[in-house]
Amino acid sequence: MNEDEFDTVLARLTGEYKAGLPPRLDEMAVLWERLLNDRTDLEASKKLHFHFHYFSGSGGSFGLPELSNESTKAETALSASLRAERTLTDEECKIIATQLEAVRRIVDEG
């Protein structure tokens, strides 16, 4: 594979990655609603953490470093509550809501 072919494949993979973001984000929004209604919803908390962790660890590899940066903040907040086996604090909820919005903007802007 020469350099041009590599770039072409990389561009295709990046396009596929970006195309997969909106459905994932929609699922995150549903999980967040569940958590807002019930902060003891451990399943929603774990799943939301998983999604932020995915963004955090992958965005930069696909040309979206800000997606990683913003997601890491929310992942950290969720990790703290999961590790301590307690419900989210008001401050953590605020962080997650803010970062979810930030992630939405990044995804919308492509």
- Span of 15-23, 31-39, 82-90, 99-107 interacting with other proteins by CB under 8 A: 15-23
Q: Cβ of residue 37: shortest distance to other proteins, in angstroms?
A: 26
CA distance 59 to 62: 5
Give the other-Cβ count within 10 Å of 87's Cβ: 15
Among 35, 44, 70, 72, binds other proteins (CB under 8 A): 72
102 to 24, 35, 52, 71, 74: CA distances (angstroms): 15, 18, 12, 9, 10
Q: Does 60 bind other proteins (CB under 8 A)?
A: yes
- Contacting positions for other proteins (CB under 8 A): 1, 6, 9-10, 13, 16-17, 20, 53-54, 56-62, 65, 68, 72, 75-76
